A and B are shown apart, each in its own frame.
Chain A
Amino acid sequence: MDLAVIWFLIEGALLIGYAILDGFDLGVGILHPFVPADDRERRIAINSIGPLWDGNEVWLVTFGGVLFAAFPGAYATVFSGFYTAFMLLLAALIFRAVSMEFRSKVQHHHWRRFWDWSFFGGSAVATFLFGVAVGNGMLGMPLDKAGNFTGVLLDQLSPYTLLVGLMTVALFAMHGGLFLYLKTEGDFQERLRDWMWRSWGIFLVTYMLTTIYTLVLVPRATANFEHWPVAAIVVVVNVLAVANIPRALHWGRPGQAFVSSCVVIASLVMLFGLALFPNLVTASNEAAHSVTVFSAASSPKTLGIMLIIALIGMPFVLAYTGIVYWTFRGKVRLDEHSY
């Protein structure tokens, strides 16, 4: 297989890893003002992701670094083209990260409320922008011959991209709710049950609207299924996983519901990849200007070196991730050291 295609798949795997892992901690942030009833519950929510969010975010950083190294053409086009959106995203991620740290340090009502809202705002805005970015990726954008974005900022805020943004917020809220359900108990856990149903419902509506909208608006989204009919498995798995969440919740199997939610996220990222390939950034004005896996790739030598780096490094990464999740398994308990 072409090295560039292998790297496209690795980028996909990194994006799946990021979306599943940071997805639940972003989701915990989105639910933060709504579910926890008092300061103690808010602390439980934050402490459920306390040791995990930092490592989760490294998946995004590595995704960016690998995009730079393996597909510099796409890295340059995407980041400079979405300049304003990315600056907002960075601001949101900064606020989110420091809110958790700073919140607990001062026991003053207004101080804590400020960081609570900043934690929610950062999480919600970041998630929404990820969705908007995916929406724009589906639609494509006007590019010149060198691959530079030639449109204006408002082009990036069409109804379709906003819809995908909303769907992502609902998806991560549901995912975060399921995660939190596994980490809590008692009254708090009971109230989460309603929110899991609610966010699943909102997700289902936006998911169906997005599907219809995509089929109508983005014909190339399904073009690859003609080349590889076997890819239809992803669609089937995706739908089954969405349907399995209420089933698992109904039968009282939250673990299974969480795994299903992970599968939903993974399969949606795969569908995104299938819609794009072989493009990384589709030029909406002139097909020949599209930034593709092949035109944006680094030299075969570099891709080969990077593959060695990844093969050496990734087993370690999975080992650290495993150790950390194992060490911090189980329900959250608070004591004088918690956030």
Chain B
Amino acid sequence: MDVVLLSRLQFAFTIGFHYIFPLLTIGMGVVMVYLEVQHLRTGDPLFETAARFWTRIFALNFAIGVATGIVMEFQFGTNWAVYSRFVGDVFGSALAAEGIFAFFLESGFLALLVFGWDRISPRMHVFATLMVALGSVFSSIWIVVANSWQQTPAGHHIVPVMRDGQQLIIDGTPVLRAEIVDFWALVFNPSTVQRLVHVWIGAFILGTFFVMSISAWYLLKGRHVEFAKKSFSGALLFATIASLAALASGHFQSKNVYHWQPAKLAAFEGHYESGPAAMSLFGVPDDSTETVRFNIAIPGGLSFLVHEDFSYPVVGLDRFRPEDRPPVLVSFASYHIMIGLGMTFIGLTLVASFLLWRSRLFTSRWLLWIFVFAVGGALIANELGWVAAEVGRQPWSVYPPLAWTADGDLVTGHSGRVEYDETLGLRTRDAVSPSIDRSQVMGSLIGFGFIYLGLLAVWLYVLDQKIRHGPDPVGPASRRDDGLLAAAARRADHTESLTGSEGSG
């Protein structure tokens, strides 16, 4: 394995692990704001019990998200120095904006949210929760802006790098970089909004399935039943809406991907030969024969998806030189499994909603058991969505532009294949740091492997402890409602850990 492949593996591994936590933060943030607002509105202490319980788990997730997130911030520089120099002007701005607008907001109000239950007023606490949720959403905006710019670059131009008034030339090639021309065109590049919506929906699905998983377990064990019912019903409402929305958002995204990155969509669908295209439901793409084996497909399905016409010709991988094609098998598999899981979520949530309406949900133990484990599927679907998006982007780090003719065909060269202007994009294999070697990256990859597996084990262990411990009931005479003096007396001597702890001493 070379430095490029090792660096890609390291990036995929570290981002894949990190991604669990911000997703849970975004998804659970919405649930917690809902619970706290309900408590403020109705005064029902059960909402406060629920909010306090979820806060602890939320904070545990947040801490690991912060710890693993720092790795991401620096990894562009450590492993992808050429990329960093090429895109820093554009891509770095989005990351810096994320730090200034999102991270400070999140971390500041997180302290109030977790440690401030008895130090600030209930209204201020709801506000803090809202701000943390908002911070996590801001964070996702900037990071998706940055990633979408790699996929569908806009608002920039590529210019030679100058050094002391002269073009910088290394090994006979002028060094180029991207610079911002139009900031808002960069932010709202052609794929930002659609991808962001899809990411948010994915986060809501994971967050709500996480809440439902723990609640279903309590219901099955007959513990904290009222609390679990409230949490489950609230989460189910959001989960049902989100599952349906994911399908719609995915559909519009496919059309957009086809327009800007047709090679990517062709790889998703295993569509090798241009022409009317089927939509594969199951199969194993085989590059050597350029076919999909064991294919079960809807004839004309892909044509219908991108053109609303079952016989419309769809551009296939044959329009791209072999070195310009993404790896088909990984793209195809991740894309299809994600969609399969998404369809399953729609089915599950609709059945559960129906049973809830018929007041039979909480006695349907088989379904509750499915929900205990469905959160794993939600996580896998989210991760695979990113695998599809990023592997499908290959072999480019920054996608070069391509053009369409007026009658909806790709502009190709004499060979009948797309000829990209290489100076307008950046290949992944050219983006890696020249100053690092194989053994360094191998070492850090193994190191991250051990540390993250350890973290995962400890995280699951502590999570398990928290869940077994369950929520602590808050009496109807809530401690926060007993007047200013009592609150002030308590204020000075109260500390809570980020997640609370089992006993003292």
Contact = CB atoms under 8 A, between A and B. Distances in A.
Interface string B285-325: 00000000000000000000000000000000000000000
B375 to A, nearest CB: 21
B419 to A, nearest CB: 28
Contacts of B492: 330-331, 333
A72 B64 CA distance: 28
Contacts of B71: 90, 94
B82 to A, nearest CB: 7
Q: Label chain B's interface by main secondary structure.
A: helix
Interface string B87-110: 111111101111111011101111
A66 B78 CA distance: 16
Interface in B48-101: 60, 62-64, 66-71, 73-74, 76-79, 81-82, 84-85, 87-93, 95-101
Nearest to A63: B99
Contact of B501 (A68, A75, A337): A337
A301 interface: yes
A64 to B, nearest CB: 5
Q: Which of B112, B440, B498 has the most CB of A within 10 A?
A: B498
A313 interface: yes
Given A65-B96, A84-B440, A328 B498 contact: no
Interface in A287-330: 295, 298-299, 301-302, 305-306, 309-310, 313-314, 316-317, 320-321, 323-324, 327-328, 330
B497 A58 contact: no
A150 interface: yes
A101 B498 contact: yes
Interface in A86-108: 86-87, 90-91, 93-95, 97-98, 100-102, 104-107
Given A68-B77, A70-B96, A320-B108, A148 B499 contact: no
A61 interface: yes
Interface string B162-175: 01000010100001
Contact of B73 (A43, A61, A100, A295): A61
A218 interface: no
A94 B455 contact: yes
B78 to A, nearest CB: 5
B505 interface: yes
Contact of B63 (A81, A97, A317): A97
Contact of A327 (B77, B120, B163): B120
Contacts of B108: 55, 317, 320-321, 323-324
A191 interface: no
Contact of B104 (A55, A81, A309): A55
B420 interface: no
Interface stretch (A46-54, A132-140, A205-213, A232-240): A46-54
B99 A58 contact: yes
Contacts of B98: 65
Given A77-B81, A101-B499, A106-B465, A313 B101 contact: yes
A60 B70 contact: yes
A25 to B, nearest CB: 13
Given A55-B107, A72-B85, A338-B496, A299 B458 contact: no
Contacts of B433: 76, 80, 83, 148
A105 B502 contact: yes
Contacts of A331: 492
Contacts of A150: 435
A339 interface: yes
A335 B495 contact: yes
A327 B111 CA distance: 9
B93 A69 contact: yes
Nearest to A298: B89
Interface residues of B, number: 84
Contacts of A338: 495-497, 501, 504
Contacts of A86: 74, 78
Interface residue tally of chain A, by bracket?
35 or more
Contacts of B66: 54, 57, 97
B279 to A, nearest CB: 40
Q: Label chain A's interface by main secondary structure.
A: helix
B462 A102 contact: yes
A77 B109 CA distance: 34
A61 B97 CA distance: 11
Contacts of B163: 295
A71 to B, nearest CB: 8
A285 interface: no
A252 to B, nearest CB: 23
A337 B494 contact: yes
Given A68-B88, A305-B183, A317 B74 contact: no
B56 to A, nearest CB: 10
Nearest to A75: B77
A106 to B, nearest CB: 7
Given A40-B505, A106-B465, A338-B497, A149 B93 contact: no
B104 A317 contact: yes
A262 interface: no
A317 B104 CA distance: 6
B302 to A, nearest CB: 39
B119 interface: yes
B115 A87 contact: no
Given A91-B451, A302-B89, A148 B115 contact: no
A106 B501 CA distance: 8
Nearest to A320: B108
B436 interface: yes
A98 B497 contact: no
Nearest to A309: B97
A328 B96 contact: no
A225 interface: no
A20 B98 CA distance: 22
A146 interface: yes
Contact of B497 (A39, A70, A316, A339): A339
Given A65-B96, A327-B111, 16 more contacts: A54-B107, A58-B103, A68-B96, A78-B77, A79-B74, A98-B64, A98-B67, A104-B502, A146-B170, A149-B435, A302-B90, A313-B104, A327-B116, A335-B494, A337-B494, A338-B497
5 contacts: A105-B499, A301-B181, A313-B104, A321-B104, A336-B503
Interface of B: 60, 62-64, 66-71, 73-74, 76-79, 81-82, 84-85, 87-93, 95-101, 103-105, 107-112, 114-116, 119-120, 163, 168, 170, 175, 177, 179-181, 183, 433-436, 440, 443-444, 447, 451, 455, 458, 462, 465, 492-505
